Chains A and B, each alone.
Chain A
Amino acid sequence: MSITEKIVELIRRTSSSLPCDVLRAIRAARRRERAGSSAAVVLGTILDNCALAAKNGVPLCQDTGMLVFFVNDALRRRVTRSVLEKAVAAATERGYLRRNTIDPVTGRSFDDNCAEGAPAVRYCDRPGVTLIMKGGGSENMSRQYSLPDSALGAGRDLEGVRRCLLDAVVKAQGYGCAPGVLGVCVGGDRATGYEVAKEQLLRPLDASGAAEDPRLRALERQVLREANSLGIGPMGLGGNTTLLGVRVTARPRVPASFFVTVAYMCWACRRGSLAVL
Chain B
Amino acid sequence: MKTLRCPFGESEIRALKAGDAVSIEGRIYTGRDKFHKWFFEGRPLPVDFRGGALYHCGPVVVADSSGGWRVVAAGPTTSVRENPYEPDFIAKTGVRMIIGKGGMDERTLAAMREHGCVYVQAVGGAGALYAAAVRRVAGVSLLDEFGAAEAVWHFDVEGFRGVVAMDACGRSLFDSVRAESERRQHFCH
Contact = CB atoms under 8 A, between A and B. Distances in A.
B125 A230 contact: no
Contacts of B121: 235, 237
A174 interface: yes
Main SS class of interface, B = mixed
Contacts, number: 157
Interface in A230-277: 230-238, 266-268
A229 B189 CA distance: 13
Interface residues of A, number: 49
A95 B60 contact: yes
Given A41-B161, A237-B163, A177 B149 contact: no
B181 A38 contact: no
A135 B75 CA distance: 12
Interface string B38-77: 0000000000000000000111101000000000111101
Contact of A170 (B60, B75, B129, B181): B181
A46 B60 CA distance: 18
Nearest to B165: A237
B19 A38 contact: yes
Given A58-B72, A173-B181, A230-B184, A98 B60 contact: yes
Contacts of B74: 62
A52 interface: yes
B149 A45 contact: no
A235 B129 contact: no
Nearest to A93: B62
Given A61-B73, A166-B188, A38 B128 contact: no
A56 interface: yes
